Amino acid sequence: MTAHRFSTRSTTLPLQPLMDLGNYETANDLGRVLGLTRTNVQQLKARGVPIHRADEFAVACGFHPTEVWGEAYYAPLKYKHQLIAS
């Protein structure tokens, strides 16, 4: 049996859907809601939202993560369960 390592920390989701759904026009707008600097938001735009922060960010903006990212939000968890089952 092969041991599998899985980390949700390396999985990211795009920031743009959250900006679009919340009608945030600038990094400053979203940063004010999330308590982040403009630079932090720009880094998230470039690198993606870490999956372990996606729920926190979505809820802070008044949404459920699946409203923002759909089934992609659950994809890492489904993958992890497939690895455990194998």
CATH code at 64? 1.10.260
Domain-located, residue 78: yes
pLDDT digits (tens, 9 = 90+) for 26-79: 999 999 999 999 999 999 999 999 998 999 999 999 999 999 999 999 887 665
Cβ within 8 Å of residue 66, ≥6 positions away = 73, 74
CB 22 within 8 A of CB 61: yes
Count of domains observed in the chain? 1
At 64-82, the pLDDT tens digits run 999 999 999 988 766 555 5
- The answer to whether position 69 is within a domain reads yes
